[in-house]
Amino acid sequence: MIGDLRAETVRIEGANGDEIEAYLALPADDGPRGSVVVIHHLPGYDAATKEITRKFAALGFAAICPNLYSREAPGADPDDAAAVARANGGVPDERFVGDAAGAVTYLRGLPDSNGKVGTIGYCSGGRQSFLAALSIDVDAAVDCYGAFVVGTPPDGFPLRVGPLVDRTPELRAPLLGMFGNDDKYPSPEHVDELEKALTEAGKTFEFHRYDGAGHAFFATDRPSYRPEAAVDGWQKIAAFFRTHLGE
């Protein structure tokens, strides 16, 4: 069911006790309900990511998107903040984990929370969703074409991060992966490697791969948008979270 919602900017406690900005969207009706941490892509805490956050609320979940660039460029336009973050090589993994943990704590503290929280991220956020599920007690995680869970960035790439695939045995939650077969980061070979690691580690996971889709096929404001893949992907994401988080 798609319902009414309300949304607002809030402040939450992130890594090292820092106060950071976040965008919160809630269904208008009373709970109890599961919750979702939406992890923004490298372009930042932008209108498109806030729209995704509201969509989860419309689907019946509490949802929050922490602004991972709050420290670099507080109050800045998303493009300017993203430029600063790119110049710094992205968000350090340890700091991200602290911010994500703060978002999870905030959601579990809401009056209508059923205690179950999942994570979802796109692009760099897909990798960070996987990282969250390695590091934080969450109930489900979705990786939408997360680059460099497998492999390392090429020279000149704006992210300076390392692969996570060797940590696959640490995964704490069921994982849903959404990938385009025309993508380069992650490539189909990268996805194969991650699938093999998850299988060998005995983890619960579900991967979906789409022909004719490349990176950012969910992004409605980009030429990369692929409606058929995105619509099917949203249906699978909603079903996955309803299974593991409840409605």
Active-site residue numbers? Answer: 123, 183, 215
> Buried b vs exposed e over 145-175: b needs ≥16 C-beta within 10 Å?
bbbbbbbebeeeeebebebbbeebeebebbb
Provide the residue type at 125 as one letter: G
Short-list 133, 149, 141, 221, CA closest to 183: 149
- Residue 83 makes CB contacts below 8 A (sequence gap 6+) with none
Closest Cα partner for 93 from 120, 118, 122, 130? Answer: 130
